[in-house]
Structure 1
Amino acid sequence: MSKQLNKSLTVSPFFLFFLIHSTQSGVGLLNFQGKIIKGAEQDAWVSILLVGISFHLIIWLLYFLLKKSNNGDIMSLHQQLFGRWLGNVLNIFFYGYMLLIISTIIRSYLSVLVTWVFPYTPIWFLSLTMIFVISYLVVGGFRVITGICFWGMIIPSLLLLTVYFPFQYAYWTNLLPVFNHSLSDYFVSAKESILMYSGPEFLLIYYPFIKDNQNSQKWAHISQAYTTILYLFITIISFVYFSHGQLEHVTWPTLMMSKIIRFPFIERFEYIFIFLWLLVVLPPCCMALWGAIRVLKESFKFKPRMSLWISIIIVHFMVINVKSKVEVEEMGTFIRFVSSSFLYIYIPILFLFILILQAFKKAKSVGVN
């Protein structure tokens, strides 16, 4: 089985730490607090923690599936399990999932730009600008994208130093009482937080590009643990800074916290925050576009340039046709449903299907003997 590409095209397993975390971060970090508090309220941090832990199981399932794949990716696994025709149909759905992720991230970030920075700039122009930047990076290949994931984690991490300012106004009583909600309330908050954890599924495409990939799983779990701790930290900061009523009505709580930051030489720190956040948005967009191109290449033998043009035209069309804030919210709700279904339903079904096939083959071989 060929699961490893030429070493000149691959990256060290250590970079999985940056690849997974960077693809999990995105625009959702700017406004997730108001969504998760609708369920378990001040206890929503419990749901954040539990969903983060559940993703360790998903990562384990992903590695199980990839080790069973002939070429170490989901495209070959689909063809291997369901035949070439049906397998390619499933690959098309996965391709659409990649494009939907890019479109949702771009359109959500453009909502922030239009509201805070460029209120009179047309969406189509901002969309083309972002797509151009993303395409330029994707053309550089997987190693360039890995570099973007690295810097997309390191540089924005400097923003964590700014939590000193909201901590000065923290009301820790906002976290009380603890554990006074029903399981259904925790489930509502957990459902709202799934989307911001999505990203490990890209491993289904770039797994062959990791050196010694079969022994790289520990870095994926370390990255997931870091992401969970970071989201838990941001959640608690938001809860002790804002009251519950405020979180229900503030559109971008993380950005609002940055408005209180003042330096003698910087009046509007939130502008720096917004533009630095572009480095957080780029990695998942680049990875999804690169993954979409690879799906078309491996499934239908499309040339990369043709696949790139097809993908960016579809993405641009999807972005510019989502006009109002309500439609942006509906788009986010839809991608959350798709992502949740893929990670918590489809991946376990594939896992069980492979187990059943293995058991059937084993029973058949025993019967023949």
Structure 2
Amino acid sequence: MIPERASYAEYPEHSRGRLTHEPISRTRNAYARDRDRIIHATAFRRLKEKTQVFVAHEGDHYRTRLTHSLEVAQIARSLAHALRLDTDLAETVALAHDLGHPPFGHAGEDELQAQMKPWGGFDHNVQTFRVVTRLETRYPQFDGLNLSWETVEGVVKHNGPVSHRLDEPAWQAIADYTLDHGAPAWDLRLGTFASLEAQAAAIADDIAYNNHDVDDGVQAGLFSLDDLVDVPLIGPVLHGARKDWPHIDARMLRIESVRRMIGVMVDDVLAETEARIAADGIRSTEDVRMARRTLVAFSPGMLADLGILRKFLFERMYRHYRVNRTRSQARRILAEMFTLFMAEPDTLPPEWSGKADIADETKQARAVCDYIAGMTDRYAIEEHKKLFSLDLALDL
């Protein structure tokens, strides 16, 4: 039975609409239509070979940005259902949230931030916004995906208000967009919170990556389940799984423990969120946007446990020498390509060399950045080889 929608949920029939008017779909509501556009986007397909910790060629079982986005969408949809929110909007924001990530995970983002420092910087959240509003070209009547206001707002503000970031060069693109499309209905209200659906997508991201980093780290041999027994949150879950299944093998113990940990975190979010909604007297979507704090949140106790888990993962996984070597190689690949494309823009593919306006160095740098940010791990590695290996270059 579908629960009655809460008064503070978003309703697609009350959407502020799209920047470019389009006829209403006969088969989908506004947010479901947004979801479908994201799924069919080129940037979404590329997530299959963009990674977070491990590079795509290191193994078939590690999460990619695509599988991560699907896991986030599932958790976001479940949270939204339990909180009586719009499940389509929560799922849509979740599916879109990583579209702007460059290849090689955080190492790739760090390198593009460094390379773009003289020309406005780089931020993956802003890049996601640019993908859905400008870089995707799939429709003859507009650039981008022409998503509904609530979806675009969720993409920009799912982690909270961003008006304080508009002085950062990388975020100027969002401020400019709001000014360029100055219709009152398209003010993204950057100083307010996003919908509860977008907040559900944001915390689903935290739940997903904390759990799959544990899963992937064990599979990669960076640490064992025994190393986790004294770590809050995962330790008690491991103990409970072993108690319930004394003869369980290591593989099934890992899977069962991760499954249980997701459940514990989801239950915590639901309890904390319902308490905050009641305590803050939230009755409408406007109450949500003008709230004094994030409403979809972990409890203080869960945040403390997650802090200890993240410290463990940072020490044993994110800064493991094997991961450090991959990060180092990834940064060198992107740095060398960026430098070459800036010095010799005619080495860019034709569809990009025309955008690299050599008369305007800032526009040239942004075009180079967009090209590199759109690459998958595998494509970046192959492109680098073609550019810097004489044997491969001669075969072109």
Q: TM-score range by the shorter chain?
A: under 0.3
TM superposition score normalised by structure 2: 0.23
